[in-house]
Amino acid sequence: MGTLGKAIYSVGFWIRETGQALDRLGCRLQGNYYFQEQLSRHRTLMNIFDKAPVVDKDVFLAPSASIIGDVQVGRGSSIWYGCVLRGDVNSISIGSGTNIQDNSLVHVAKSNLAGKVLPTIIGDNVTVGHSAVLHGCTVEDEAFVGMGATLLDGVYVEKHAMVAAGALVRQNTKIPCGEVWGGNPARFLRKLTEEEMAFISQSAINYSNLAQVHAAENAKSFDEIEFEKLLRKKFARRDEEYDSMLGVVRETPPELILPDNVMQDKVPKTA
Cis peptide before 185 (omega within 30 of 0): yes
Give Cα separations from 216 to 28, 86, 109, 112, 132 (angstroms).
31, 26, 35, 42, 26
Q: Which residue has the higher pLDDT, 187 or 27?
A: 187
Identify the H or E element spanning 133: strand 133-135
Q: Which residue has the higher pLDDT, 220 or 101?
A: 101
**Span 218-251, pLDDT tens digits:** 888 888 888 888 777 766 666 666 566 656 666 6
* Nearest-angstrom CA–CA distance, 268 and 271: 10
Return the exposure string of 12-39: e unless at least 16 CB atoms fall within 10 Å of the residue's CB, then b: eeeeeeeeeeeeeeeeeeeeeeeeeeee
The pLDDT of residue 268 is 46
- Alpha-helix runs per DSSP H in 105-186: none
The rounded percent of the chain whose pLDDT value lies above 90 is 53
The pLDDT of residue 1 is 58
Under DSSP, the state recorded for 105 is E
Among 176, 198, 172, which Cα is nearest to 185's? 172
- Cβ-contact 45, 65 below 8 angstroms: no
Window from 40-54, 73-87, 126-140, 249-263 with minimum mean pLDDT: 249-263
**Span 57-83, pLDDT tens digits:** 999 999 999 999 999 999 999 999 999
Number of other residues whose CB lies within 10 A of the CB of residue 50: 7
- Cβ-contact 134, 119 below 8 angstroms: no
Q: How confident is the model at residue 270 (pLDDT cuts 50, 70, 90)?
A: very low
pLDDT of residue 269 exceeding 60:
no
Looking at the DSSP bridge assignments, the partners of residue 60 are 78
Looking at the DSSP bridge assignments, the partners of residue 93 are 72, 121
The pLDDT of residue 48 is 87
Number of other residues whose CB lies within 10 A of the CB of residue 194: 8
Q: Which residue has the higher pLDDT, 126 or 255?
A: 126
Mean pLDDT of 147-166: 94
